[in-house]
Structure 1
């Protein structure tokens, strides 16, 4: 038997001038900003070796991501609470499943934050030399983590402002390349539809393995549902709009770069968007322009992911499944959740730079590609459970068939994400999950004793 997550009235502090509910624009910006990180700036070159058939893989992935987004929208309409996948898994399958969703998602967020900061330093170095020595590099990476964390600690009012500004600043130039590049499009640059000796199915699968994780973040509005104004309506809308916006940027951007940069150059390029900008406008300032875009994109993603990293343990802690310190909220933000996350991410970042090339940072980042899919699978399984069990309070009868099809597609998409993680990531990720089982045993015992 499952128990309903606690719903509590906001404290006077949470209703302060620094705590604001997210409207539809900011909730949409949260989704889009978290989906579009820094990977988009390398994606065209990454999939170019497979030919333009990789666009087919992108289309398939987009369909799966939209199905997952629609499922999150339906679940959030019935459960408009902070925590997203944690709430859905716990309501359907009990405390243990809810804890696994929260634990996996939490690991994903703080390890990913460290990875984003490390990647952002590379783009920052194009603008300001910071990689001349190790101390400066570490300081820059830590600053890129702590500045978004400070924005979060200032309150949801400032989180929303930073997220909306960052999304606009990175959306406009990316859209310029994605749409403006079509006017300079040269089909002679496209190269073969299917490059290499692999079959069509093999080429689609191989390129999909690279692109699979481009849509991580579709759950962003659902995780922060408790801070979204009129969540029954706005969470679903923000999830769909944000996912569609990111899909448009991804697809048009990749297509434009394919048509602007010759295929043989694109395969070898380490900065495909820079080459595309140089082709459009001439000169050699494309590298600086793209570095600015990438840096803004990553800072925006760090801002959004920092909030999400605190929301899931906050929801679990309210139900006694995470330490109670995570329930502390100030100005609408789970304060200790933000602090613990940024400290862990900072320690991992320092370890990455001090351990040298033989460090385990890359392995841990790969693990997050698996841990991120665990909450997705549990959420889609929860939706299938609600539909199959015929619970009147959880099922919209007129849309039963449509919701069932979407849930099955979203579940298949989530399983594809797991398969694309690779054997090593799944192996390591399962170890992380088993470590969480020990934490759950301790927290569950304390909860029962209390």
Structure 2
């Protein structure tokens, strides 16, 4: 790939912001207040602290590699092919399911404006149109995808920035009182709120999956990760503060909290600004996701964990077969509706990437000579250890059925690793003959 066609620093930052800020922030503030009152903003900051520590671990690991794959590449290097395979397949599957969920959210948002989309025919037709449009966009190469991603990311941020800029003039200090409602602020609610709010931050790990598509990866990616996470944390904290300050506990009584906030501030105009913003947000994130998801499959094919044809590229240097396979699987899941169940696996499966990456930092300190110019997590192994412990705590506090589904998925795919090894051995023996 020519260097000029790769992602530059600010394109990396915009892509990172895009794949994190999705539909969650438009819906989750009300849930936070219902679980932990105005103090839910502290829970959000706690989750941001965790995701920042995990991000530091990703940043150090990313400084060792220039290739696509993210957590799969790190785990494979640190702990061997089998664990790399488990993480790699889980990463690809998680991204496919998550992308199907975005399709569903986009359809739901649009059905509020076009009720006919609630019927199967129009719904399936729109899913097909979205899928085919994304295939077309992505097979045209990184230059076109980069332009679309940058434009849509800026567009979807504007309504959120407008909400913050206008909302700060409508804050009522009494809406923050009591800040710690005694009936809500106890440890069991804190853990539930932490698990729930954590998911507004997930997705940043997709950025390291496409490391091979970036300029100066070892220098740009670690810094971009930190800029992305800091920017998203500031935006989320301000949105939470404005939402609570405008509506207070009434925030928990609406399924569309940001619409309710802007409607209170600006009437119907404010409501439609957020409606358009949520549609732009989901449209932008599905474009960003459709770029990242195929690269997770390509990373596996690069290491013979998947058939070699999956990594084939066209004249635009786009992995067109991986793009078609990934998008068709996303469409099938979106058609079937079973993505609601599979999304439970996807939410917990994020930790299948986070925990091995944190542990990989510790392992790499022993097996890789650190480049003095590369990024290094400060305070020795303290941050990777803390990030691992908190991740395990959140995982334990997730719904048991989600945890069982995720573990079951890892068990089911394990035999395919050994079948893949048998196939590779037969291929090599055939070439030898």
- On whether the aligned pair clears a TM of 0.5, the verdict is yes
Aligned-partner SS, 2:112? helix
Equivalent pairs counted in the alignment come to 425
Distance 2:153 2:57 in 1: 24
Partners of 2:274 and 2:209 in 1: CA distance: 30
Flag the 1:219–1:43 CA change in 2: closer, same or farther, 3 A.
same
Residues 3-18 of structure 1 aligned to structure 2 (within 5 Å): 14-15=1-2
The question of whether the paired residues in 2 share the 8 Å contact of 1:130 and 1:140 is answered with no
2 CA distance for matches of 1:433 and 1:149? 29
Specify the SS of the correspondent of 1:53: helix
Q: Displacement, 1:382?
A: 1.0
Which of 304, 312, 316 aligns to 2:288? It is 304
Residues 224-258 of structure 1: CA deviation (Å, up to 9, x unaligned): 11111010111111111111111111111011011
Q: Tell me: CA distance 1:280–1:137, structure 2 relative to 1, closer, same or farther (3 Å).
A: same
CA separation of 1:269/1:96 partners in 2, compared to 1, >3 Å: closer, same or farther? same
Residue 356 of structure 2 is aligned to residue 378 of structure 1: yes
Deviates more, 1:412-421 or 1:88-97: 412-421
**Alignment map for 1:85-164 (pairs within 5 Å):** 85-164=71-150
Aligned to 1:418: 395
Pair 1:27 & 2:5 matched:
no
Separation (CA, whole Å) in 2 of partners of 1:198 and 1:48: 9
**TM superposition shift of 1:64:** 1.0
TM-score (norm 1): 0.89
- Which moves more between the two structures, 124-133 or 271-280? 124-133
Q: Report the more deviating stretch, 307-316 or 184-193.
A: 184-193
Give yes or no for the alignment of 1:79 onto 2:56.
Answer: no
| 1:198 Cα deviation after fit | 4.3
Equivalent of residue 201 in structure 2, options 200, 203, 215:
215
Query: Is the partner of 2:404 in helix, strand or coil?
Result: helix
Asked if 1:65 corresponds to 2:51, the answer is: yes
Aligned counterpart, 2:431: none
Deviation at 1:394, TM superposition (A): 6.8
After superposition, the C-alpha distances for 1:47-67 in whole angstroms (9 at most, x for unaligned) are 111201111111111111111
TM norm structure 2: 0.92
Aligned partner of 1:200 among 178, 186, 210: 186
Shift of 1:137: 1.9
Q: Do structure 1's residue 291 and structure 2's residue 275 form an aligned pair?
A: yes
Q: How far apart, in 2, do the equivalents of 1:345 and 1:235 lie?
A: 27
Aligned to 1:11: none
Evaluate the alpha carbon distance shift between residue 284 and residue 397 of structure 1 in structure 2; reply closer, same or farther with a 3 A threshold.
closer
Structure 1 residue runs without a partner (length 5+): 1-13, 353-359
What CA distance in whole angstroms lies between the structure 1 residues aligned with 2:295 and 2:136? 16
Which residue number in structure 1 is paired with residue 330 of structure 2? Answer: 345
Deviation at 1:303, TM superposition (A): 1.4
Deviation string for 1:146-188 (max 9, x for gaps)? 4333221211111111111111011121122124311211122
- Which stretch of the first structure deviates more once superposed, 101-110 or 65-74? 65-74
- Offset of residue 113 of structure 1: 0.9
* Candidates 201, 210, 217, aligned match of 1:224: 210
Any conservation in 1 of the 2:5–2:143 contact (CA below 8 Å)?
yes
Query: Would the alpha carbon gap of residues 121 and 440 (structure 1) be closer, same or farther in structure 2, given more than 3 Å must change?
Result: same
Structure 1 contact 166–300 (Cα < 8 Å) conserved: yes
Greater shift after overlay, 402-411 or 315-324?
402-411
Instruction: Say which SS state the counterpart of residue 215 (structure 1) adopts.
Output: coil
